[in-house]
Copies of this chain bind each other. A is one copy, B any other.
Amino acid sequence: MRIALLGGTGDIGEGLALRWAYDTNHEVVIGSREADRAANKAEEYETELSRRGLDVTVEGYANPEAAAGEDVVVVAVPPYHVADTVEAVADDLDEDAVLVSPAVGMKRDEAGMHYHRPGAGSVTAVAADAAPEAIPTVGAFHSLSADRLANLDVELDLNTLVVGDDEDARDTVAALGDDIEGIRPLDAGPLANAAEVESVTPLLINLARYNEGLAHAGVTFD
**Minimum C-beta distance from A191 to chain B (A):** 7
Q: What residues of chain B lie closer than 8 Å to A200, measured between beta carbons?
A: 196, 199-200, 203
A5 CB, min distance to chain B CBs, angstroms = 26
Interface stretch of the complex, out of A48-56, A77-85, A107-115:
A107-115
Contact A221/B217 with A189-B112, A196-B115 known, Cβ cut-off 8 Å: yes
Collect the chain B residues with CB atoms within 8 Å of residue A220's CB.
219-222
- In the assembled complex, A197 has its CB within 8 A of some CB on chain B: yes
Contact residues in B for A175 (Cβ distance below 8 Å): none
Copy number in this complex?
A: 2
Query: Do B192 and A202 touch (CB < 8 A)?
Result: no
Besides A112-B190, A189-B209, 20 other A-B contacts (C-beta < 8 A): A109-B192, A111-B191, A115-B195, A115-B199, A161-B203, A186-B210, A186-B211, A186-B214, A187-B211, A188-B203, A188-B206, A188-B207, A188-B210, A189-B210, A193-B203, A195-B199, A196-B202, A197-B203, A214-B221, A217-B221
Is the CB–CB distance between A196 and B199 below 8 Å? yes
Does any Cβ of B come within 8 Å of A204's Cβ?
yes
Q: Give the Cβ gap from A72 to chain B, nearest Cβ, in Å.
A: 21
Instruction: Bin chain A's interface residue count.
Output: 35 or more
CA distance A115 to B206 in the complex (A): 19
Answer yes or no: A177 CB below 8 A from chain B CBs: no
Is A64 an interface residue, CB under 8 A from the partner? no
A189-B221 contact, Cβ under 8 Å, with A196-B202, A197-B203, A206-B196: no
A160-193 CB contacts (< 8 Å) to partner B = 161, 186-193
Q: Is A218 part of the contact surface with B, judged by Cβ < 8 Å?
A: yes
- Least CB distance from A113 to B in Å reads 8
B112 close to A193 (CB less than 8 A): yes
A-B contact pairs, 21 of them (CB 8 A): A109-B192, A111-B192, A112-B192, A112-B193, A112-B196, A114-B193, A161-B207, A186-B207, A186-B210, A186-B211, A186-B214, A187-B207, A188-B207, A188-B210, A196-B202, A196-B206, A199-B203, A200-B203, A214-B221, A219-B221, A220-B222
